[in-house]
Structure 1
Amino acid sequence: MSCEFLQQINSMADFLEVVHMLYQLPTGVRGSLRACIWAEVQRRTAMPEPELTTLGPELSGLDTKLLLDLPVRLMDRLSNESIMLVVELVRAAPEQLLALTPFHRAALAERALQNLAPKETTVSREVLETLGPLVGFLGIESTRRIPLQTLLAHLSQLQGFCLGEPFATELGWLLTQEPLLGKPELWSQDEVEQAGRLVFTLSTEAISLIPREALGAESLERLLEKQQSWEQSRAGQLCGGPQLAPKKAALVAGVVRPTADYLPEPVPNCADVRGTFPAAWSATQIAEMELSDFEDCLALFAGDPGLGPEELRAAMGKAKQLWGPPRGFRPEQILQLGRLLIGLGERELQELILVDWGVLSTLGQIEGWSSAQLRVVVSSFLRQSGRHMSHLDFLHLTALGYTLCGLRPEELQHINSWEFRSPVEGGMWVVMLSQAALFLGNLHFQCSEDQLEVLAQLLVLPGGFGPVSNWGPEIFTEIGTIAAGIPDLALSALLREQIQGLTPLAISVIPAPKFAVSIDGSECGVTIREAEPNTGYTGYTDSCLQPQVVFSPTQLSSLTSVQAVAVTPEQMAFLSPEQRRAVAWAQHEGMESPEQQGRSTACGFQNWSQPSWILALAVCILGNLL
């Protein structure tokens, strides 16, 4: 389904029927099509400014899924009845709320609260019950409208919700106040039990003040089990949130550290590890464990992503004591070890038997290998299997997974590009990705920029998709993170619809320096081509300003909010002030972020198609410099 097709539907009723059908698809609606849908909705209903009117009767038939996805700038125009429909949907299926950006979640929560409890009024327990999961995304001011006794009575429900950063930070502070749970240094086991996993909303310093007596072995184990259960749940995975490793370490410090400086570190048994978590223990403590205890807890060690390099080596050392040298590991033992295999040295990795499909795919799905280890794994497989890169089919490529980044760029060039397309009846090939590329495009690659570029080039070779400038947004979506390898020149020439086809994961994988790379073009409007022939990388300059960055402020402002949120702190560090403002503008769906308040929103980001954006951007930049 393309944007052009939607634009050609004349009847509003037919248009909404098609949109409804799209939103029922299990694959969801890709970002570029979502942007197109809501742009069309605004155009067709001839909507004036959002604050001037309410949504017309044409939209009364929108179902709750569409209402939930309504852009924030239109949210204030929903009727109270429509808002309550969304609230009911969120309570029944909170995962749909968590698919939205943090900004969107917060806006929806505040709009629902506005409907239930006007400003200047307190938030009752009944209102909290009605809001359900939306409570976790209220802002600081709204949170302070909740009476402390009401909040105290609601703690058990909050433990099952995703909590946005503003709400969690405020809640963590409130928990340490009277008449809630009071100062953490005065907590007993009752307060710890009452807080449950909400204890992680406290600061690390506050957690470290909780007395050891309040953290009994059973109480601590239950608390950590609750947190782990939440993190492994579907809602917990969608929720994300900050890393809790420092807070967890502070919580278990009384168990894993000696009670006095002059005493040796305690050596854990399996019960101790189960009562805490493997990463809580140092490499020395792991190395000194009894073999029987380590064996009983092997699955816990293999499944803990928090183990550092030293701890992984220590755990791997215990495994070698159990089973002997790696060259003798059986396939089922390698599968059991999982991520602990990162603790092997390069020579030991060479000794592993990798021709077993289960072993190869297990290693290919492990994140955290060093570059040298990646090289060893993939080289060992090629040597043991007697295969050349050109002979690998899509099954081999998917099994290799992350370890493909162990191949040099010149070796990656030998991958059979036909394996990046799918056969259809009659032996013909269609312009779509094979199962290999679909799988690889979902990986958070550790490849270098040169390696990613080679993988992307496989898609534009003869018989492939053709020049990048001709790709539709659906191609960018299908290839996923492989799009991060598109060269600078081609990226700088992408149009709005193409950019919106990039997956959020692909954006996060784009090497951070690319965001600051300057590109020179010869003159305005000429085609910029890759230096090497037949690469398929072509595009056009979009301004007369030279040099030009890979992603101009205008391009960055065209990101969907989900894409803009995916821009990493490392990437943001390479952006100019104008580029950062463009990303913030996109994150907030074209509305001013708190940092932008006081600046004009007419800084050239609203209209991609008009060439006057250059002048508007220049005026904006000058205005901020004066």
Structure 2
Amino acid sequence: MQPFLLAALPARYLASVPASRCVPFLISLGKIQLDSLVLDSHKKSVVLRKVQQCLNNSIADEYAVDIMGNLLCHLPAAVIHHGVSPKAWATALHGLRHCADLSPEQKAAVKLRLLEQHGLPQNWTAEMTKDLGPFLVLFSGDELSSVATKFPDILQQTASEMAGALPPKDFLWAVFVSVRDRSGRSPSTAPSPGCRGVEVPSSDDVFRLGEANACWAPQHLLCMEEDTFIRNVDLLGAVRGFSHPQLMALKEKAVQVWDMPSYWREYHIVSLGRIALALSESELGQLDLSSIDTVASLSQQSEWTSGQAKSILQGFLEDSGYRIQDLKSFHLVGLGATLCDMNLTEISRIKISEFRVVIARIGHLLCSTHVLAEFKKKAEVVFGDPTEWSGSVLQELGTIAAGLTKEELRVLDKDLMPYFQPSAIRCLPDEIFKELSADQIAALGPQNAAAVTPAQRGQLSVPQLQSLQWALDGAKMRFWLDVPPSASPMWTPSSHSPGVSIPLSLWPGCLLLVLVPQLMR
């Protein structure tokens, strides 16, 4: 079976894959990211139950592991703990290390297997610790303390290979301890009150720690040497785990080193990264924001308050001398999410010619409903009345389409519903989403149906909820689910075994299952 059919076929067909097709079924599924293709939890459960049936709830050898591919990441905890044979375990473990989203139960099962086979980490050899490095995140701080002492380099190397991931706090603390205990730090010479005698991070510490820099106390960050801060501000600004007090300490350090924000240059502001989030609205107003490149670097942060975002927007307009109507398309791109904090009058002043160029970029923003509605009005000038919009227009508009009124939504052709972006579906207000007809909801498609929020779902009637389930299931033909087998005409071809009857209403799905794999070979 071609993997893309999973999103289109109702769950009942997936559950009926014959045993003779299990191997190609597993191979096909193992080549994809199941979470990306099957978004409905019910259908995913059906698929995974079929996988377990095909495997007979066990993995006997390396061949079975190879067949499964990415499906290893979806093995139930019980199968991981009891169903993977010793002969297959090493290969399975190698595959599991690449699974980014194992559930707590799966992680616990992997940890139990490791403990059963290798004992506690304190008894591991250097080679074993290196081989099992990616699984160190499964252990508690106490269990990792011996690793931090015996094999600090391996622990730090493991942490450095986790770029893009945010490891558990216990693991980060173990990394922090392994660096701290080996470091030759000296007391701070910073003039700040309370810094006398405080041991502070060195440049080497900051470089080695990476995300584990989040374990420094705010006082340690505030008291670090100026040269250390200057050399490593980019690294510190990229740490995602810093709390607000830690960011405030680093901002104060920046003021100590560079003077007040009004004196900061563009390269100072750009290098701050997340540290800039600690700037108050008043301090943001002091920055020189005349360059759109500076503003673009600030807009990359997603944690601004509305007040901070407005300060950035106003700071750019004042410092650059531009009026809203003067903004070019590249200015609008650089302003990013701060556009969401424009008032309705300001949005109305954006030039249509410039807006047209960046509609798709603005359509990625998660603005409030009234802001999206104002952007939608501008989209009408570009594309005409919403009743005339095509699927490609809805695709390009992105979240801007969530600014449609309930009257405009009601008259949209149901065939256009799959062209909404999932982000637009999520942004639709609950009271407007419920105005969609059952047919429109059924036509959303699996990806859009999966984007429906619990609050939106809570507003739906029973027929609408049933349509939503059809959309999640990927049903394209309503009668597939409407007509019970007993109500369908039967045809028993001579090639079938006696007593095996197939409802005529199911033949389109059966033909799809049989013919498409042949055509796609």
Map residues 71-470 of structure 1 onto 2, 5 A cutoff.
71=9, 73=11, 74-75=13-14, 76-77=16-17, 84=24, 87=27, 91=31, 99-101=36-38, 117=55, 119=56, 122-140=59-77, 142-143=79-80, 144-147=82-85, 150-165=88-103, 169-177=105-113, 179-182=116-119, 193-200=130-137, 202=138, 207-216=140-149, 217-228=152-163, 231=165, 246=169, 248=171, 267-273=200-206, 274-277=208-211, 278-421=213-356, 434=357, 436-443=358-365, 445=366, 447-461=367-381, 464-470=382-388
Higher helix proportion (structure 1 or 2) = 2
Other structure's SS at 1:363 match: helix
1:479 aligns with 2:479: no
CA distance in structure 1 between the partners assigned to 2:231 and 2:10 by the alignment: 51
Displacement of 1:501 in angstroms is 1.3
CA distance in structure 2 between the partners assigned to 1:271 and 1:577 by the alignment: 61
Cα–Cα, structure 1 residues 256 and 214, in superposed 2: closer, same or farther, change >3 Å? closer
After superposition, the C-alpha distances for 1:336-378 in whole angstroms (9 at most, x for unaligned) are: 2233222222222122222223213222333111111111111
**Equivalent position of 1:559 in the other structure:** 444
Once the two structures are overlaid, the 10-residue window that deviates more, 218-227 or 175-184, is 175-184
Contact 2:398 2:423 in 1 (8 A): yes
What TM-score, normalized by structure 2, do the two folds share?
A: 0.73
CA distance in structure 1 between the partners assigned to 2:95 and 2:59 by the alignment: 19
Contact 1:269 1:294 in 2 (8 A): no
**Equivalent position of 2:416 in the other structure:** 498
CA distance in structure 2 between the partners assigned to 1:344 and 1:267 by the alignment: 23
After superposition, the C-alpha distances for 1:548-577 in whole angstroms (9 at most, x for unaligned) are: 9345666545432222333456x4685569
Q: What is the identity, as a one-letter code, of the residue corresponding to 2:97? A: Q
After superposition, the C-alpha distances for 1:238-279 in whole angstroms (9 at most, x for unaligned) are: xxxxx7555655655756999xxxxx9964333333325133
CA distance in structure 2 between the partners assigned to 1:581 and 1:140 by the alignment: 32
Contact 2:277 2:304 in 1 (8 A): yes
Other structure's SS at 1:123 match: coil
Cα–Cα, structure 1 residues 301 and 555, in superposed 2: closer, same or farther, change >3 Å? farther
Displacement of 1:495 in angstroms is 4.2
CA distance in structure 2 between the partners assigned to 1:85 and 1:362 by the alignment: 46
Other structure's SS at 2:37 match: coil
Contact 1:354 1:384 in 2 (8 A): yes
Contact 1:106 1:138 in 2 (8 A): no
Q: What is the identity, as a one-letter code, of the residue corresponding to 2:88? A: T
Specify every segment of 5 or more residues in structure 2 that has no aligned partner in the other structure, as ranges: 182-196, 484-521
Matched pairs, number = 454
Cα–Cα, structure 1 residues 549 and 110, in superposed 2: closer, same or farther, change >3 Å? closer
Contact 1:101 1:565 in 2 (8 A): no
Q: What is the identity, as a one-letter code, of the residue corresponding to 1:399? A: G
Q: What is the identity, as a one-letter code, of the residue corresponding to 2:236? A: F
CA distance in structure 2 between the partners assigned to 1:281 and 1:160 by the alignment: 29
What TM-score, normalized by structure 1, do the two folds share?
A: 0.62
CA distance in structure 1 between the partners assigned to 2:116 and 2:4 by the alignment: 42
Specify every segment of 5 or more residues in structure 1 that has no aligned partner in the other structure, as ranges: 1-54, 56-63, 232-242, 259-263, 422-433, 520-547, 592-600, 604-626
* Larger Rg, first or second structure (1 or 2): 2
Displacement of 1:589 in angstroms is 3.5
Contact 1:176 1:182 in 2 (8 A): no
CA distance in structure 2 between the partners assigned to 1:378 and 1:322 by the alignment: 26
Contact 2:159 2:175 in 1 (8 A): no
Q: What is the identity, as a one-letter code, of the residue corresponding to 1:169? A: E
CA distance in structure 2 between the partners assigned to 1:186 and 1:572 by the alignment: 53
Contact 1:172 1:199 in 2 (8 A): no
After superposition, the C-alpha distances for 1:188-211 in whole angstroms (9 at most, x for unaligned) are: 8776544422344x4xxx524424
After superposition, the C-alpha distances for 1:529-562 in whole angstroms (9 at most, x for unaligned) are: xxxxxxxxxxxxxxxxxxx934566654543222
Cα–Cα, structure 1 residues 215 and 154, in superposed 2: closer, same or farther, change >3 Å? farther
**Equivalent position of 2:511 in the other structure:** none
After superposition, the C-alpha distances for 1:280-320 in whole angstroms (9 at most, x for unaligned) are: 33433321222222233222222223333332222222223
Contact 1:72 1:107 in 2 (8 A): no
Contact 2:291 2:316 in 1 (8 A): no
Q: What value does the CA root-mean-square deviation take over the aligned residues?
A: 4.0
Cα–Cα, structure 1 residues 352 and 496, in superposed 2: closer, same or farther, change >3 Å? same
CA distance in structure 2 between the partners assigned to 1:89 and 1:198 by the alignment: 25
Q: What is the identity, as a one-letter code, of the residue corresponding to 1:335? A: V
Other structure's SS at 1:154 match: helix
Contact 1:252 1:280 in 2 (8 A): no
CA distance in structure 1 between the partners assigned to 2:461 and 2:155 by the alignment: 46
CA distance in structure 2 between the partners assigned to 1:561 and 1:279 by the alignment: 39
Q: What is the identity, as a one-letter code, of the residue corresponding to 1:207? A: S
Displacement of 1:404 in angstroms is 0.9
Other structure's SS at 2:354 match: helix
After superposition, the C-alpha distances for 1:24-69 in whole angstroms (9 at most, x for unaligned) are: xxxxxxxxxxxxxxxxxxxxxxxxxxxxxxx9xxxxxxxx575676
Contact 2:214 2:242 in 1 (8 A): yes
Q: What is the identity, as a one-letter code, of the residue corresponding to 1:505? A: S
Contact 1:109 1:135 in 2 (8 A): no
Q: What is the identity, as a one-letter code, of the residue corresponding to 1:364? A: S
CA distance in structure 2 between the partners assigned to 1:160 and 1:131 by the alignment: 14
Q: What is the identity, as a one-letter code, of the residue corresponding to 1:294? A: F
Report % sequence identity: 23
Q: What is the identity, as a one-letter code, of the residue corresponding to 1:323? A: W
Displacement of 1:120 in angstroms is 5.7
Displacement of 1:381 in angstroms is 1.3
CA distance in structure 2 between the partners assigned to 1:317 and 1:558 by the alignment: 54
Contact 1:484 1:506 in 2 (8 A): yes
Other structure's SS at 2:373 match: helix
Displacement of 1:108 in angstroms is 6.0
Cα–Cα, structure 1 residues 319 and 488, in superposed 2: closer, same or farther, change >3 Å? farther
